[in-house]
């Protein structure tokens, strides 16, 4: 088996991994970005056909770049996937595609990253695989009648997959609202779940330019783990999801989407919502989020909830190990594309200072999160895109 040595390995070439690569390249640091898919952006190309980002292009650019086209348009999945691919190519980021990481472990004072092609020895590793790897569905799905078609949003592509008859969409966040709205054109749709709140205006309209700037500034600088209101918001996002941004409750009502309470059980093979009503549906689309896949991380950095323990992306127990692209990693904006750049800059900066301290005169490293006395686990929920 071939063994290579490199200063830093970034695992994952999505928006988080590419943003990390941008700052590592600025430092002149030798690194590789490992990507399991055939092409950069393929994780986006595999989402549902009609997907548009929930934020306008103005908020979808990575560090050192402007998103092409109208800043207030909502890019399609293909457009954003192609943007990521161009971003990596134009900056010459050293991405190795079709490289599946099988194991990450300690070796000596550094780390070993094992892939199907060989072993990489690195002083630093940035795990940028995100939080939306494994679909998450409630156990009660197994009790539904076998005649009911069930899909997770990860497998949903278009309404043609859904048989005739009523359909229940479970999960009322951005993904659930978007899929429910699309299905309402061909089916009677019931949308179950807690209302996550919404941005109270159309951010793409000219009259909303200034309010939208204020809202996204609040997402990035007020709703953070450093503020009491931010920590309360984080708890809500981790338990449910972030606010609706592009699709509004008025859009759903106008399309005839029937809002129902959360699903609490099954009776006679049918889903039962809070209040006791059994819904006679032929299909269920589970928009119930994801959890990260940490099975390949052979290090004591996973909490009892199965999630990585970090402080603003810095692993406190394993020097040189970082996480990026976690839900609400530092702020509500961390869950959105425009927020990953700041998180990547922080992680890359900490990495650079730690490396300098290890090879040069001792210096004081900035503590990861002075407002948080104990490490926390990142948590999984539906993707905010």
Give me the residue spans of the domains in the chain.
Answer: 3-133+290-377, 139-286
Reported as a pLDDT band with limits 50, 70 and 90, residue 381 is very low
Tell whether the model's pLDDT for residue 177 goes beyond 90.
yes
Tell whether the model's pLDDT for residue 385 goes beyond 70.
no
Of 81-85, 171-175, 347-351, which range is least confident? 171-175
H helix or E strand, kind and range, residue 270: strand 270-273
DSSP secondary structure letter of residue 150: E
What pLDDT sits at residue 383?
Answer: 37
Say how far residue 357 (Cα) sits from the centre of its chain. 32
222 by DSSP, 3-state: which?
Answer: coil
232-269: b (≥16 Cβ within 10 Å) or e: ebbebbbebbbbbbbbbbebbeeeebbebeebeebeee
Region 277-292: mean pLDDT is 95
Region 115-135: mean pLDDT is 94
Superfamily in which the 3-133+290-377 domain is placed by CATH: FAD/NAD(P)-binding domain (3.50.50.60)
What pLDDT sits at residue 213?
Answer: 86
Reported as a pLDDT band with limits 50, 70 and 90, residue 34 is very high
Region 179-195: mean pLDDT is 97
Distance CA 183, CA 162 (A): 9
State the chain's mean pLDDT as an integer: 91
pLDDT tens-digit series, residues 94-108: 999 999 999 999 999
User: What's the angle, vertex CA 24, arms to CA 20 and CA 30, rounded to 5?
Assistant: 125
Distance CA 2, CA 234 (A): 43
Domain 139-286 sits in CATH at 3.50.50.60
Give the dihedral sign, CA 342/343/348/349. Answer: positive
Q: How many CA atoms lie within 13 A of 357 on its CB side?
A: 13
Question: pTM to 2 decimals?
Answer: 0.89
Distance CA 6, CA 32 (A): 8
Place of tokens 């997959």: 161
């Amino acid at each position: 088996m071939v063994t290579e040595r490199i200063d830093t390995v970034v695992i994952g070439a999505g928006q988080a991994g590419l943003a990390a690569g941008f700052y590592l390249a600025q430092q002149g640091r030798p690194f590789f970005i490992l990507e399991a898919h055939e092409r950069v952006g393929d994780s986006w190309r595999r989402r549902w056909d009609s997907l548009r980002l929930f934020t306008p292009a103005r908020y979808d650019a990575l560090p050192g770049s402007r998103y092409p086209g109208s800043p207030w348009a909502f890019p399609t999945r293909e457009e954003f996937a192609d943007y990521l691919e161009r971003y990596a190519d134009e900056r010459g980021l050293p991405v190795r595609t079709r490289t599946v990481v099988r194991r990450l472990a300690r070796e000596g004072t550094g780390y070993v990253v094992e892939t199907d092609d060989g072993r990489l020895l690195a002083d630093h590793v940035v795990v940028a695989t995100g939080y939306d790897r494994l679909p998450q569905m409630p156990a009660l799905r197994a009790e539904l009648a076998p005649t009911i078609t069930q899909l997770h949003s990860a497998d949903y592509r278009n309404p043609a997959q859904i048989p005739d008859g009523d359909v229940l969409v479970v999960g009322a966040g951005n993904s659930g609202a978007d899929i429910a709205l699309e299905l309402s054109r061909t089916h009677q749709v019931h949308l179950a779940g807690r209302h996550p709140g919404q941005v109270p205006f159309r951010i793409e309209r000219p009259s909303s330019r200034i309010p939208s700037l204020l809202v996204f500034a609040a997402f990035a600088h007020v709703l953070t783990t450093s503020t009491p209101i931010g920590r309360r918001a984080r708890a809500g996002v981790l338990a449910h999801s972030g606010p609706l941004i592009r699709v509004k409750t008025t859009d759903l009502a106008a399309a005839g989407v029937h809002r129902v309470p959360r699903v609490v059980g099954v009776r006679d093979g049918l889903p039962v919502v809070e209040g006791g009503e059994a819904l006679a549906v032929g299909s269920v689309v589970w928009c119930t989020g994801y959890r990260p896949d940490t099975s390949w991380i052979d290090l004591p950095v996973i909490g009892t909830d199965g999630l990585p323990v970090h402080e603003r992306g810095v692993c406190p127990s394993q020097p040189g190990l970082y996480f990026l692209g976690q839900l609400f990693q530092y702020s509500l904006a961390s869950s959105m594309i425009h927020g990953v750049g700041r998180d990547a800059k922080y992680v890359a900066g900490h990495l650079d200072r730690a490396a300098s301290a290890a090879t040069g005169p001792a210096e004081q490293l900035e503590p990861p999160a002075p407002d948080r006395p104990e490490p926390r686990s990142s948590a999984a929920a539906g993707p905010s895109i």
